[in-house]
Structure 1
Amino acid sequence: MTDTAEKVKDAQRRIGTLAKASPELFGGFSRVSKVAASAGSFSAAQKELMAVAIAVSKGCEDCILYHIDAAMKHGAKENELIEALDVAIEMGGGPAVMYGAKALEIMRALQ
């Protein structure tokens, strides 16, 4: 197993430890994550690449590991990751709940 694969396993183990310590909270988070990662208009791989881009902009190495692993399991390719990273680098800052709500509001207003 490579060093990177070990890091993914370590991140997954830490998540599991937290889930056992706070099962009610983590149950809710798990449901949110499942819905967010499910294929819809975007494929599951594309959604995972979005998560990677956000993780990059937020500076969360464990998140990057976790979501790249998931993206690859859904068939994401390196060139797709690079495009997602282009966007993460462009934006640099952090998407947040308030700006997500604003984006939805703007799109609905323009429809």
Structure 2
Amino acid sequence: MIEDWPEMAATLDASILKLREANPQIMNAFGMMGRWAHTSGALDRKTKELIALAIGVVTRCQPCIAYHGRDAARAGATREEVSDMLGVAIFMGGGPATMYAAQALEAFDQADA
């Protein structure tokens, strides 16, 4: 196991709460964007979470991988869908994305267990 992804997300939740207390205006605005991103529109929530996870992989953002791996599982993504999306992320991000794709699959697997 590379990381304990659920533990990372829980720890970050506490840190983000402190940031929200320190800067409520920007965090409330960011929260509104997050709520919008989690609602279905032309794209359903599962598709949006797969996109967010792919962006986390390509930008090498471990906290993003922790959150969106968990949220993709909660939105009903299958391991096959995540694996397929990771192929696109690897294609777009090259070798470095491959390392983060392995972490993303682990984060999804831990959330889906």
TM-score by length of 1: 0.75
Determine if the alignment matches structure 1 residue 41 to structure 2 residue 54. no
Counterpart of 1:59?
Answer: 60
Unmatched runs of 5 consecutive residues or more in structure 2:
95-113
What does 1:1-111 correspond to in 2, within 5 Å? Answer: 3-92=4-93
Q: How many Å apart are 1:3 and its aligned residue? A: 3.0
- Structure showing greater relative contact order (alpha-carbon pairs closer than 8 Å, 6 or more residues apart): 2
Paired residue type of 1:9? A
Paired residue type of 1:32? M
Task: Output the CA distance in 1 between the equivalents of 2:85 and 2:28.
Answer: 29
Paired residue type of 1:58? T
**Are the aligned partners of 1:57 and 1:91 in contact in 2 as well (CA < 8 Å)?**
yes
Unmatched runs of 5 consecutive residues or more in structure 1:
94-111
Question: What SS is found at the alignment partner of 1:26?
Answer: helix
Query: What do you get for the CA RMSD once the two structures are aligned?
Result: 1.7
Question: What SS is found at the alignment partner of 2:18?
Answer: helix
Query: Deviation per CA, 1:4-56, whole angstroms, max 9, x where unpaired?
Result: 32112112222222112111000111111111221112210110110000010
Q: How many Å apart are 1:66 and its aligned residue? A: 0.5
Q: How many Å apart are 1:91 and its aligned residue? A: 1.1
Task: Output the CA distance in 2 between the equivalents of 1:79 and 1:15.
Answer: 31
Aligned length: 92
Question: What SS is found at the alignment partner of 2:42?
Answer: coil
Sequence identity, in percent?
35
Paired residue type of 1:20? E
Task: Output the CA distance in 2 between the equivalents of 1:18 and 1:51.
Answer: 22
Q: How many Å apart are 1:78 and its aligned residue? A: 0.8
Task: Output the CA distance in 2 between the equivalents of 1:76 and 1:30.
Answer: 23
Task: Output the CA distance in 1 between the equivalents of 2:58 and 2:76.
Answer: 23
**Are the aligned partners of 1:12 and 1:66 in contact in 2 as well (CA < 8 Å)?**
no
